[in-house]
Amino acid sequence: MKKHILLYGGILIITLSFLGLYNLLAPRVGPIGNGPPTTFIWFIFSIPILIGLALTATSIVKFRNEKNTRN
């Protein structure tokens, strides 16, 4: 059960970080037209991606370990 939560959580975090990146890079009109600095955007984007990839990789390892112990 825990491995499923890790997998779904990792996929959710990756998806939400891409949606956040899209939202931050969307063109804006008015006084906020320039938006935040791009280094800030990529830093905010990279941390959740790394966490999501780590959760997904951990889940895959747990699935493989369970499969190997059954045989």
User: What confidence tens digit (pLDDT) does each residue in 51-68 have?
Assistant: 999 999 999 999 998 888
CA atoms of 38 and 36, how far apart (whole Å) = 6
Q: In the chain, count of helices (H) and strands (E)? A: 2, 0
User: What confidence tens digit (pLDDT) does each residue in 4-52 have?
Assistant: 999 999 999 999 999 988 888 887 777 766 667 778 888 888 999 999 9
Confidence of residue 71 (pLDDT cuts 50, 70, 90): low
Residue 39 confidence (pLDDT): 84
CA angle 13, 17, 23 (to 5 degrees): 145
